[in-house]
Amino acid sequence: MPTLPNFTQFEGRYWDTAAIRNALDYQGVKAPHTGQPFSEALLLGVSGGVTFGYFTFHYKGYDPQVNLLTRNTFDPMERIFNRLKLPRDLRRTTSADKGRQNLIEALEEGYAPVASPDMWLLPYNALPYDEGMWGGMPLVIYGYEPDIGEAYISDRSRVGLTVSADDLDQARSRIKKERQRLILLGAPDDASPIAPR
Q: Is the dihedral of CA 47, 48, 49, 51 positive or negative?
A: negative
Nearest in space to 102 (alpha carbons), one of 172, 166, 6:
172
Nearest to 90 by CA among 193, 188, 194, 178: 178
Share the mean pLDDT of the chain: 92
- Model confidence pLDDT, tens digit, residues 131-174: 888 999 999 999 999 999 999 999 999 999 999 999 999 999 99
Confidence of residue 73 (pLDDT cuts 50, 70, 90): confident
Domain ranges of the chain: 15-47+74-185
pLDDT band for position 31 (cuts 50, 70, 90)? very high
**3-class secondary structure, 144:** strand
Which fold is adopted by the domain 15-47+74-185?
Cathepsin B; Chain A (3.90.70)
Dihedral angle sign, alpha carbons of residues 197, 7, 16, 173: positive
Q: Is 80 helix (H, G, I), strand (E, B) or coil?
A: helix
